[in-house]
Each structure stands twice: as structure tokens, then as C-alpha cells.
Amino acid sequence: MTAEIINLNKVRKAKDRAEKERRAEENRIRHGRTKAEREQDEALRARDGAALDGARIDDAEPGYKRSGETEDDLDPGSVS
């Protein structure tokens, strides 16, 4: 009954190499894009941000009421 001898240093180094390769693959995916792709993504983000800003409802607008509210609901003096 002899056990298989394992060199722990080689196992540790192999594990480290595998981890570095995994991180390198993630970085290639994340950063390996062309300038045109990056610019297109930035333009889409800017367009989406502008659309959200344009659709924003400001509570300070005069005459603004949420659905189901009455004039009494908007009067700050009627707080019970």
C-alpha cells in the first residue's frame, strides 16, 4: 500500500497558471474590443441616458398630480 507522491509545489504552480489563464481570457473578452465597438457602446449609453432624462417627471412642476391624488393631497398644510 504505497501512496502516490505529489509534489505540492508543482500542484500550486499549475493552479496559479490556470488562474492566470482564466483572468487573461476574461480580460481579452472585456478589453479586446475595437475602437468602433467602444464608440458605439458609448453612443448608445449617451442616447439611453438622454432618453431617461427627457422622460423624467419633476414633482415641482405646477399642476402636477399623481394618479389618484386630489388637490387636498398636494396641500402641505393639510398634514394630519
pLDDT for the residue 74: 56
pLDDT for the residue 77: 62
Asked if the structure places residue 35 within a domain, the reply is: yes
Residue 13 belongs to what domain range?
9-53
Task: Tell which residue, 74, 76, 47, has the closest CA to residue 63.
Answer: 74
pLDDT tier at 47, thresholds 50, 70, 90? very high
pTM of the model: 0.38
- Spatial neighbors of 57 by CB under 8 A, at least 6 apart, are 64
Asked if the structure places residue 34 within a domain, the reply is: yes
**Mean pLDDT, residues 19-29 taken together:** 94
Please give the tally of structural domains in the chain: 1
Asked if the structure places residue 37 within a domain, the reply is: yes
pLDDT surpasses 60 at 79: no
Asked if the structure places residue 24 within a domain, the reply is: yes
- Spatial neighbors of 19 by CB under 8 A, at least 6 apart, are none
